[in-house]
Structure 1
Amino acid sequence: MNYRIDYVKQSEYPKVVDVWEASVRATHHFLEEGDIEYFKPLILNSYLDMVELRCVRNERREILAFLGVAENSLEMLFIHPDSRGKGIGKALVEYAINEFKITKVDVNEQNEQAVGFYFHCGFEVDSRSELDSLGKPYPILHMKLKTQS
């Protein structure tokens, strides 16, 4: 399918966080409730302003999925569970590669679906960290885009 990638206004951040939370609850089963509650205000009040945001919307202009990019790294990609499996994630990654020239992404090792997705999108594991960026015991795979020969 062909999806139109759109900008996200700051006034839409609460909707973006709703998509983030629904996505995390559907895919990050290893997280504790306290972790989700900890990250929610950080995402809303800090993290979204630190990245270039783009989204995919439905015909009612509701946000179905979003990505955030900083420098050459895909920092966030979240898809509402009702919209998974429809090619939206692939469209957003291809957009990030083509428009933002991303070459890397960090992914929770325990999120096996995401790891498989990024392999499918042409990434490979470059290195691994035992702890996440906050020192929590959630291993991170540092993936990079395979070089085309």
Structure 2
Amino acid sequence: MIRTYETADTNRILEIWRKASDLAHPFLSPSFLAEAEEKIRSLYLPISETHVFAQDQKLLGFIGLLDGHIGGLFVDPDYHGHGIGRALVDYAKSQKGRLTVEVFKENPIGRGFYKAYGFRETGEYIDEDTHQPLIKMTL
């Protein structure tokens, strides 16, 4: 079931984000991840349109949208391959139509997911905070 994020979901969302980030972004420093976690809690969750995927009352993934841009899509790694990410992007597409996303070039999990979904790479630039290349993708 997909529903709108509630503030009571915050700790579980951050747990999912951290587990998925540790898996997909091993090139990011622990200090960067700690700073990013605080930004998600205090800045991004309050301003983004966030939806969660829940099964049997347990949150398994979430998507954060800023208009038609996917600011974050994270699924608990224990549930990768179960269609949760696809369901969340399907939902976002039904609400927003055209979607964009930026994915670290060194994140084969994310890039592979979006490519398989039908996103195409439309650009590349260096992220100011991490100094890592980001790939722009559009659906």
Specify the TM-score bucket, using the shorter chain as the normaliser: over 0.9
Residue 101 of structure 1 pairs with residue 108 of structure 2: no
| TM-score, scaled to structure 1 | 0.88
The structure with the largest alpha-carbon Rg is 1
Residue 144 of structure 1 pairs with residue 138 of structure 2: yes
Q: Whole-Å Cα distance in 1 between the matches of residues 135 and 47 of structure 2? A: 21
Residue 45 of structure 1 pairs with residue 39 of structure 2: no
The alpha-carbon deviation at position 31 of structure 1 amounts to: 1.0
Alignment of 1:46-125 (within 5 A): 46-59=43-56, 61-125=57-121
For the residue of structure 1 that corresponds to 2:23, the secondary structure is helix
Q: Whole-Å Cα distance in 2 between the matches of residues 121 and 79 of structure 1? A: 15
Which position in structure 2 is the counterpart of 1:13? 10
Supply the AA of the counterpart residue of 2:130: K
Consecutive unaligned residues in structure 1, runs of 5 or more = none
Q: Whole-Å Cα distance in 2 between the matches of residues 29 and 16 of structure 1? A: 19
Conserved in 2, the CA contact under 8 Å of 1:107 and 1:114? yes
Identity of aligned residues (%): 27
Q: Whole-Å Cα distance in 1 between the matches of residues 66 and 55 of structure 2? A: 25
Q: Whole-Å Cα distance in 1 between the matches of residues 14 and 47 of structure 2? A: 14
Conserved in 1, the CA contact under 8 Å of 2:28 and 2:130? no
Consecutive unaligned residues in structure 2, runs of 5 or more = none
The alpha-carbon deviation at position 136 of structure 1 amounts to: 2.3
User: Alignment RMSD, CA only?
Assistant: 1.2
Q: How many equivalent pairs are there?
A: 139
Tell me which stretches of 4 or more aligned residues in structure 1 moved more than 6 Å.
none
Q: Whole-Å Cα distance in 1 between the matches of residues 44 and 98 of structure 2? A: 18
For the residue of structure 2 that corresponds to 1:46, the secondary structure is helix
The alpha-carbon deviation at position 68 of structure 1 amounts to: 0.5
- Cα 1:102–1:21, aligned 2, differ >3 Å: closer, same or farther? farther
